[in-house]
Structure 1
């Protein structure tokens, strides 16, 4: 085809089929008329129905993909004991534990939750070198009401030791002024005990229980090819327990392949729910997650059925006059397709499928 317009000779194959159909119908009509000549005059042949048309519109398009997620409290992590001994106390199922709470006890000695981003990796006490773990301990002691060391920093001082001693006294343990490995567990925020692994009397050096965060969220399993579908910060639409609420992707983490034959590694996207109050008390169940993967604003669009695939390649739309206008396609969404081309304008009428 040369230029944006082509001759009627490249019109849809369906017009050829329609022509054959009309001829066939005329033949049948003649036979019927002949058999009825003695009864009444021959009826005139009916004209074929006009083709369906649509108007070229200027609109906004958005390509959306619907995924299935699970409502819960986010991915579970395992709390593993680091202090030798026997488990002598455990929290209740679904217990919510915040800074300073007792996570469990070993030989009747509490293991306490501190908040932060750095796990403890050594004893924090007199004679140690400076480090970020000292700052973490001082920040937690300050927030629990134990001070005397000034502004939290990386230096362990006599004030730090005194504050630790006061905290230990409140816990009911020996006042050593030092925190040993296994005395505290550091987590990014409050936790919720999800599934017990150890029982009372078990060895405290293994898994104790699985825990999650405390805020309800939605988790979506993504295939290995979908990592870029919903990066952190992506806004999504959620349908939770029949209610529509906004959401934001807050994390995308790799997941290992399962044990099933053919299982592959993938990713898990965690989505924060924009309005927890809107979903009531629901804390489990399937969730529809709509991700907008592409969007175009103020573009010309026609129904997908108006596109004609040309023998020489590319696409066109047909005008009611039979002329073809070559078009370049863009985004497909909601039964419409973005089109552009010389001579194409908003408000034009094009032929489409009925």
Structure 2
């Protein structure tokens, strides 16, 4: 039996249902039309669709334009340092006895001041490089009466402006008095007499000979110190230094015996010590200018004064082990001590010039772009890219060079 499928007439106003193949073709046409419209919209938005008399232009890009400029780039490097008065050095105290007075730590002592007292006698600071190595006084060949005669002549020279050596003696000097062995000579005498004159004493000639006039001046000096007026300077009575000193920490208490580390001292000016990496200390050359930055942000100009010649291995390692580099001490002096304010010690940073490129073409680092073929380039105003070779980076700028790079060329900093 054949089954008959009844036919249903379409309702009025209703189109007949399309066949499946027809439906797929119609959907494809609609999608194609939408893609075409979108493409046209994009072209119009980019300004490539023509219309009117407008000329075609490159796509607009975000970012600002900057010129290539010629300037000097300076690479600055900072290292940690320690502000202070330097390493404490033991004073060469040669007096023997009991320490009866000590100055306060940090006190400043100048020429003619007492550094300490031993057996209640002052040990006085004088300036010089030659250490005290013997007593200074008249030789045994000079009698007491001759010494007193010399003292009177010295006082006469002091009052009347006549030098003791040129003053006429009151009596004919004996052979012992004129013997050269009775008068000490040497550079230590000259150094001492220079100090004695600087303290305001006169009546003698500042030279290498210790005369009766010198002895008379010594007695007046001893009287001012409240000491016995012997006219002789003992080996332990004075200590020499290059200039005024700052007292360090004592190595003995009051009442203790004088020893090798009785008292220490430092220089009187603040300085910075940097433990610089021995492998990277080429910047540390005597006379190199640096900038010292304090904890409060203030800055002071400094200068490399000395560089250690021996590298120190880090704790727990050996120099050259590679784990932690060995260091050398670099001392930086600050001429303007007022620039350091009231800070006497503490951590600081030292800034020095590592490398410098003078009068080179530069652009902001942000203007560099990575090229697909490798290396760096710059984007010009017309959207093209030019390859560049980079040099020194410093202060947010970079040195650039290349055949297409010139001063004044406008390049884009992309956002």
Shorter chain as normaliser: what TM range?
A: 0.7 to 0.9
Q: Secondary structure at the match of 2:220?
A: helix
Change (3 A) 1:141 1:287: same
Change (3 A) 1:319 1:92: closer
How far off is 1:81 after superposition? 2.5
TM-score scaled by structure 1?
0.73
Query: Which of residues 66, 79, 82 in structure 2 aligns to 1:70?
Result: 82
Q: Equivalents in 2 of 1:81, 1:252: separation in Å?
A: 27
Change (3 A) 1:184 1:335: same
The equivalent residue for 1:131 is: 186
How far off is 1:204 after superposition? 0.8
How far off is 1:228 after superposition? 3.7
Indicate if the aligned counterparts of 2:284 and 2:330 stay in contact, CA closer than 8 A. Answer: no
Change (3 A) 1:343 1:289: same
Q: Secondary structure at the match of 2:301?
A: strand
The equivalent residue for 1:187 is: 241
Change (3 A) 1:325 1:258: closer
In the alignment, is residue 99 of structure 1 matched against residue 161 of structure 2? no
Worse-superposed segment, 250-259 or 108-117: 250-259
In the alignment, is residue 202 of structure 1 matched against residue 202 of structure 2? no
The equivalent residue for 2:18 is: none
Query: Which of residues 147, 163, 169 in structure 1 aligns to 2:223?
Result: 169
The equivalent residue for 2:71 is: 59
Indicate if the aligned counterparts of 2:285 and 2:307 stay in contact, CA closer than 8 A. Answer: no
Q: Equivalents in 2 of 1:256, 1:110: separation in Å?
A: 41
Q: Secondary structure at the match of 1:247?
A: strand
Q: Secondary structure at the match of 2:91?
A: strand
In the alignment, is residue 221 of structure 1 matched against residue 275 of structure 2? yes
Query: In angstroms, what is the RMSD of aligned CA positions?
Result: 3.6
Change (3 A) 1:170 1:259: farther
How far off is 1:157 after superposition? 2.7
TM-score scaled by structure 2?
0.64
The equivalent residue for 1:274 is: 336
Q: Secondary structure at the match of 2:363?
A: strand
Query: Which of residues 333, 336, 339 in structure 1 aligns to 2:394?
Result: 333
Q: Secondary structure at the match of 2:221?
A: helix
Q: Equivalents in 1 of 2:224, 2:385: separation in Å?
A: 88
- Structure with higher Rg: it is 2
* Counterparts of residues 284-299 of structure 1 (less than 5 Å): 284-299=345-360
Number of positions where the alignment pairs a residue of Structure 1 with one of Structure 2: 314
Q: Equivalents in 2 of 1:96, 1:195: separation in Å?
A: 13
Q: Equivalents in 2 of 1:308, 1:91: separation in Å?
A: 67
From the two aligned structures, give the one with the greater strand fraction.
1
Worse-superposed segment, 290-299 or 90-99: 290-299
Change (3 A) 1:239 1:326: closer
* Counterparts of residues 103-118 of structure 1 (less than 5 Å): 103-118=115-130
- Unaligned 5+ segments in structure 1 are 1-33
How far off is 1:98 after superposition? 1.0
The equivalent residue for 1:6 is: none
- Unaligned 5+ segments in structure 2 are 1-27, 47-58, 139-180, 319-325
The equivalent residue for 2:172 is: none
Residues 158-187 of structure 1 deviation map (CA, whole Å, 9 limit, x = unaligned): 322222232222223333333333321111
Q: Equivalents in 2 of 1:304, 1:104: separation in Å?
A: 62
The equivalent residue for 1:4 is: none
